[in-house]
Amino acid sequence: MKCANLAVETIPFDDNQFDSVSAFDFLEHIPRILSSADGKSTINPFINLMNEIWRVLKPGGRFYALTPCYPAKVAFQDPTHVNILTDTTHHYFTGAQPLGKMYGFAGSFRAIKAEWTIPELVQTATELSWRQEMSRKRRAKRGALSYFLWDFEAQK
């Protein structure tokens, strides 16, 4: 078994190794910025992690993430949440010109889904039933959802 602290270390696998990578209740625990070991500069662990996820995915590989999201209370209540994501954070990593490029993001993802969701319904990447999708849309319209889903495809 391989182990790494992904806030400061690379994913211990070669390039293009995986068809999919998942991150359930994980991204919010990765700091956005840290001081370097010598204290003379900073590093961007969240950007670096997204680079690593893209690196280890095969072309067309999927990144599937579920995270509590602003403005929901659950995004803030856990004291170990150091990276508060919004419903637009994915724009830093997706599209023709990801905004994260200005901070060192070197990958490219296509957003298949980036949406508010019900965590219990998306533990696998299967499509929601018509009834589940209607429930999700009703709750989203009321602002009653607290988790955001990323389903990205690695563009290489």
Any domain includes 11? no
Count of domains in the chain? Answer: 1
The amino acid occupying position 41 is: S
Evaluate whether residue 10 is within a structural domain: no
The three-state secondary structure class of 29 is helix
Residue 144: which domain range? 18-154
Rounded CA-CA distance 96/115 in Å is: 19
Q: Is residue 69 situated within a structural domain? A: yes
Q: Model pTM?
A: 0.90
Domain with residue 147: its CATH number is 3.40.50
Pair type for strands 42-43 and 18-24 = unpaired
Token pair 């078994």 is found at 1
pLDDT of residue 1: 86
**CB 85 within 8 Å of CB 67:** yes
In a domain, 113, yes or no: yes
- Is residue 48 in some structural domain? yes
Residue 8 lies in a domain: no
4 is a domain residue: no
Per-block average pLDDT, block size 10, for the chain (156 residues)?
92 98 97 93 97 99 97 94 97 97 97 92 77 83 88 98
Q: Are 154 and 59 in contact (CB under 8 A)?
A: yes
pLDDT score recorded for residue 102: 97
Element (H, E) at 99: none
Domain-located, residue 29: yes
